[in-house]
Structure 1
């Protein structure tokens, strides 16, 4: 086998070695050449196999579609009942969710108002016993394999744990009400987090982990709040929360939720920097006439220092490949906060922004090249990467995150520099010159077509603005300013005409011209009418493509709903609303039963009747609280019955309509906790009913799964 000699590069083989330098055979060098050839063949085979798998998936999907259509025609011909619209698992999840919601709302209402009827000892014993019972149910349910039941009751038990803290404050247990309410709430949150984390460790449930992660978010701000930490203190507080969430994500604990919480805490931690940047803009007013000596209101030197510490904490908490994003965000925040932090004149803001911009633009091109595989619009670029386990794929993804952060930071700092620079025409001209130079640098050294075209657009659009602000800075009259802008625009058009890529800048002119035209001639209402007309045309085209049957059903639903609501709104004053809506609902329901076919969706068949019967009463309940107690109770019972009927027959429309109404009514009751009415009783009863029905359904599904496994082993 021939291979290049690793010492001199001459052709060598395993029999005689290298004839040029005289070294003996090198099996490792030969193995490298042989393995390279094998890898090339395997990559080709992998691509062929992936294409074959993709083709098979498409053919299987098409076969399933043909099978479903044929089965539907068979059922229609023999009059067989249609298949269920929802799965038993989906119905079970809906029932558990709504049952837990009703139980939680009932517990909150009971703790807030109704339990005042009991004595001090009775209150503590009752709420404590209920909490212990709720926390004792999940382990028993887990032993029977009822995981969803355990998750629901664990969530209710942890909510009751929080309410126990409120109860202790309400009765001033051990004098806790004599201190700060916010600090006590923070202590309660920390205790709940410890209980939830320990509970998750013992039971292995997911819900307590989610509860611990969510409840820990307000704990630290509640503890810090009474000390009045100021902007720097709040940045440090929320920066610590963001770092804690990132650590949880790195330890594979609820990764998506942890990253969402970390993103929210990071935005709040950087909010003082945005406020300091707004203070710089306010000091730079009025446009073209700001005072040179006007200093930005001081936020204190601690704010930039705190932002730097937050960036450092995020840098350490993030995975190594995502750490550049923390540096970009931290540098941008510090640049925005420095003028206010050091009490500098307003014109220092654009200078600091431009310094940060230069550094970001210098790093933008290599970041774009590293992120190209993840940002490429063509799937072929991604498919050309090595196998999914290759470390290059996560590198590209992390580089894409950093690249996007850099682009956002460039836009933010550039906009701030330009807005602040317009305090004086000379400063504005300097900022625009810097923009033009940075755009030209990107156009020449961007290394990416998108970056290069973006740089050319920025540079070309900066020319007329430089001419305008420069002429104003020199004190030229208005006609001279117009001539300068005209010459600069002509130069830009010549550049566009003599460079092919300059046509990208020309593409930015029509949107800008339309925007200016609308702003100058006040054409916004006309534009809105055109948008509405366009939406109507598109909707008509889509309706024409779905076919007359579906369009007719949709039109029938719309007409029935509109007619029912019109009757409800135009009823005689003083009459009972339900006397009209229930009649219309019953008529629509009777028509649905008479005209329903086997393949008619439940929304088309029962949707009008459900909407006519539920929506007017729900709107009345939400908009008028006076004397609506009986209506709320009856509406909730009716919605609960509709939900259970939909769960029984596995129909989507009753499940969604009834469940949505139950949820809205329950949340509305939560907003009326100040009324001393024991309405927590029907809420708790309804919640227990839904949880019991869902637990029964889960138990049946578990038994059915066990029977299937047993039959499978027997065969």
Structure 2
């Protein structure tokens, strides 16, 4: 049931809706007008219609303007060469009056001609003639020196002449602003006067560094005031070159200053350069970051240089680092936002350099135990430096922990630097009060009073939209941001410009507007005019907040630096050996703690577990090597590390990858502990192999329980490395080696019981068993291995035949490969060492029969094994004769034959490739 409102109430509702529709129409019309204006301004100027060309006529090789510029350039170059030749070569043929008259007349004519040429629209010609005039002015200066001032010093006169020429060319370029050449040439010439004056080394000449700095300041002023991109680029390049040179000279003087008083003069230079750079950064948004970086580095070098000269050498890095910390603190104290990124980058660069200067000592501390491996269990190491093999002066070691801790503290502060209320506003600034659009200013004038609906109050803040025009009122009287809504509170679509298109004029200007129309007001702060605003305004003083990526990276790096700082404390303080080993073990366990409970690190250091894992691995390996100085330390440290890494692998929540690495490390430390036990009881290497096999066996049992857990495979691979170590230890005793190989085969066979490991572990077990049999035969000095291998081969082949009958698709390698290899390979080794002919003959016949059978029945295993054994057996028999034949041939014949072979293969390369592919396909189709 619908309720119809009274007529008066319904009329008021209709009037309000009409007012909103009129306001919306006015805003859309203003937006339309703004878009039309933007489109007209963005369209390029109309080009002249192309000249008709007959069909089929080729296009011209060069366009007329390019040809014109080329001709003018060549003409100007020729005239310049002629003028130089006249001045340098033909100067003596004229008197003083003639010389002055000729050069003066030609120079005046060359400088005056561009005025007439520009009036006629010949801009390119005017540029060429003006360039000639500039060269003639330089020749006039040279002539003046040769004729009127021959006794003047060359450098001094050149400095004065370059200054005068720069001023004259600047005035000439400013008077003829359509010429593009004079002003850049003037700026380039202005780089010389002060530098040349400094090179004269006269009494009033400035030092070179101050001359360069003054030149850079001049370039900064030119770059900020220039309205041409080319001129700004030249001035910016000159400022960078001159300012950078001044900074390098000042920094070198500051570093080499012997006393604080001697470091004051370079500090003043560097601080002045920092002021110039900050001025440039505050006025130029494009160069703000680079200039503020230079300013920050210069300020740190200035203050740090004075501090360096007043402290011992070992604290010099710390002095610069403290200056960088102070600069980071100043950034938070109201420095304009435009300058903050560069200053923060400068401070970060100094922090990084300080940390890098300390990292070599950290690396030496970690790798130091490698230098004393020749004195294992000697018990002669009593202090940290001797145990770590660090033969460094105390001045290098003392300040390193403090440097790392200060850098870590700064990184911690950066990681906790999060956006707060004091940060920059997240939206565009509000427009000044009184500029809000009056929605019905033009349409409500002719309506009855009863029809006038509510309008936005005067003074409502209107936020500019990203497009540069004002949006609807963005703040309620309470100051809370309101949602963008259309008429009657209906939300506008995403990306819609919103109900307002710009502030409407008020007062008399509004009365002159047509009803229902509004026009965009002045540019908002987000428009083009914003670039001209200075960087020192109140709205630009909020601190720059680091991004989430930087904050997430800072905390893990801080943790790593704290760990490194504590690691180098023992050598820095020259603590005892026991304290050093205990501290390193504690640091390793603490690093493991970062990988066990990463939940509390997730908010501040998401990468903390990875950093902790890296520190734990590096520290664990280092302290394990360090513990080799004494037996008790070795057992205590290795047992602690194995238990700690095992516990961390069980308790970690940092992911499967971290857990797998921890498990592998635990396996490695357990292997090292067993090796230390075997060494302590003085077992021979071949007997120590028995002890090492405990690791693969234990891991195989554990992996059987883990099944398809992602950690199982990495642990098994690490245990396989321990098995290889056992095989290597047993290699010196053949019977033991055979037994170790057999035990490895048993472990592999037990692993093959699991379905997920069956293929790989099964083949490995078979290979290990066969290899164990061969080694056992070789260890027993068996001259006829066939007597032991044939009883194995025949039943294996019978089983293979039965397998093939039941499963015709079974591979011949599975059915016949193990049985054939059990006899063929030992017989081949025996044949190569047999001096008689019977064994090679019988082996060759058997291999030939297998090859033919494999080719006939299309069995890959028989063909490949038989062919390989046949080829190697034939090579053994024919090798002596081949050697004799090759020795009888001329020396040039083998290379010639090889060349002919290569030519033949190259000529029939495609055919050989096709043959090889057919052979591969044929083998692939075999079973």
TM-score, reference length from structure 1: 0.47
Structure (1/2) with the larger helix percentage: 1
Which protein, 1 or 2, shows the higher relative CO under an 8 Å CA cutoff with sep ≥ 6?
1
What TM-score, normalized by structure 2, do the two folds share?
Answer: 0.38
